[in-house]
């Protein structure tokens, strides 16, 4: 694992620094500054799935040279998902939906419809707790398995792909993924549709970052995403981009 090697090197360097500081060869302030920067580094890599530091996530397909991209939606299924499905149908586009288990439980018919319309579905934990980074390995496993269970009970589908909530990744999540046999799927274009207020800014953010093999992240529980999606699909069509299902773009299996 990349992080284990880097962690060992950092701890060795810190130990040497502390010894040198103890014998007044160097200042304790240098060692302290080093620690602060390392903690900042850990914070950045644990909140950004694309760095692949703690967890190896598939976030794009760099081998693709043709104008092909994939669109993924997080946090559904909810009522608004139906509006998203209508737009996708209008443009004859297949996308990926990383669903929250308790939302599948509340909206089983919408979840079924996503699958019937041949979109991809993946696991986005059962409760989508904000405390994801603080959960124990067994709690994370429970979150993953409960979401898989409700999806299988509803449709018979056995999901294999996992999208980490908030893009948070750490060694415990890596361990839970290994134990449950799930593959982590990230993104290469984060729209911030759930955060930014302006549709134009969100759309321009995505358009500016477009490139062959990219995976776009949107949220189907967000009302303004319907309009953003329509404009994005129009742009992609006018610029000869083909939208393919995430598993086809990434050349992976979605189900077992």
Q: Is 143 in the site for Zn ion (CB under 5 A)?
A: no
- The residue among 60 and 74 lying less far from Zn ion, judged by its C-beta, is 74
Q: Is 75 in the site for Zn ion (CB under 5 A)?
A: yes
Number of residues located near Zn ion, criterion CB under 5 A:
3
Q: Round to whole Å and give the CA distance between 203 and 229.
A: 8
Scan for tokens 């409760």, then name that residue.
Answer: 127
Q: Round to whole Å and give the CA distance between 115 and 38.
A: 43
Query: Is residue 124 among the annotated active site residues?
Result: no
- Taking the complex as a whole, the smallest distance from the CB of residue 48 to Zn ion amounts, in Å, to 14
Do residues 177 and 1 lie in contact, with contact meaning Cβ atoms separated by under 8 Å?
no
Which run of H or of E encompasses 108?
helix 108-116
The catalytic residue among 107, 119, 124, 219 is 219
Which tokens sit at 7? 């962690």
- Taking the complex as a whole, the smallest distance from the CB of residue 138 to Zn ion amounts, in Å, to 21
- Taking the complex as a whole, the smallest distance from the CB of residue 9 to Zn ion amounts, in Å, to 33
Do residues 119 and 89 lie in contact, with contact meaning Cβ atoms separated by under 8 Å?
no
- Taking the complex as a whole, the smallest distance from the CB of residue 227 to Zn ion amounts, in Å, to 20
Query: Is residue 119 among the annotated active site residues?
Result: no
Scan for tokens 């981009």, then name that residue.
Answer: 241
Q: Round to whole Å and give the CA distance between 144 and 79.
A: 23
- The residue among 74 and 160 lying less far from Zn ion, judged by its C-beta, is 74
- The residue among 172 and 190 lying less far from Zn ion, judged by its C-beta, is 190
> Using CB under 5 A, which of 60, 74, 193, 220 touches Zn ion?
74
Which residue stretch of 136-144, 157-165, 203-211, 234-242 sits at the interface with Zn ion (rule: CB under 5 A)? 157-165
Do residues 209 and 167 lie in contact, with contact meaning Cβ atoms separated by under 8 Å?
no
Q: Which residue numbers are catalytic?
A: 74, 219
Q: Which positions lie near Zn ion, rule CB under 5 A? A: 74-75, 165
């Amino acid at each position: 694992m990349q992080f284990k090697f880097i962690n060992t090197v950092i701890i060795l360097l810190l130990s040497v620094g502390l010894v040198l500081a103890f014998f007044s060869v160097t200042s304790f302030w240098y060692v302290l500054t080093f620690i602060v920067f390392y903690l900042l580094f850990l914070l950045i890599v644990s909140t950004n799935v694309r760095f692949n530091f703690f967890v190896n996530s598939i976030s794009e397909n760099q081998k693709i040279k043709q104008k092909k991209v994939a669109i993924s939606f997080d946090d559904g299924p909810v009522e608004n998902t139906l509006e998203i499905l209508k737009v996708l149908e209008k443009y004859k586009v297949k996308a990926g939906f990383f669903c929250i288990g308790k939302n599948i439980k509340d909206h089983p018919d919408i979840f079924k419809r996503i699958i019937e319309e041949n979109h991809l579905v993946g696991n986005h934990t059962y409760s989508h707790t904000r405390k994801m980074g603080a959960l124990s390995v067994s709690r994370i496993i429970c979150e993953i398995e409960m979401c898989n269970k409700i999806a299988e009970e509803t449709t018979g589908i056995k999901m294999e792909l996992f999208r980490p909530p908030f893009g948070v990744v750490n060694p415990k999540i890596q361990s839970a993924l290994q134990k449950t046999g799930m593959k982590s799927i990230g993104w290469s274009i984060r729209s911030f549709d759930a955060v930014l207020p302006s549709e134009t800014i969100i759309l321009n953010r995505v358009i500016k970052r477009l490139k062959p093999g990219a995976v776009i992240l949107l949220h189907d529980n967000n009302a303004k995403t319907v309009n953003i999606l329509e404009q994005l699909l129009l742009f992609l069509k006018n610029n000869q981009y083909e939208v393919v299902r995430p598993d086809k773009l990434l050349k992976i299996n979605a189900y077992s």
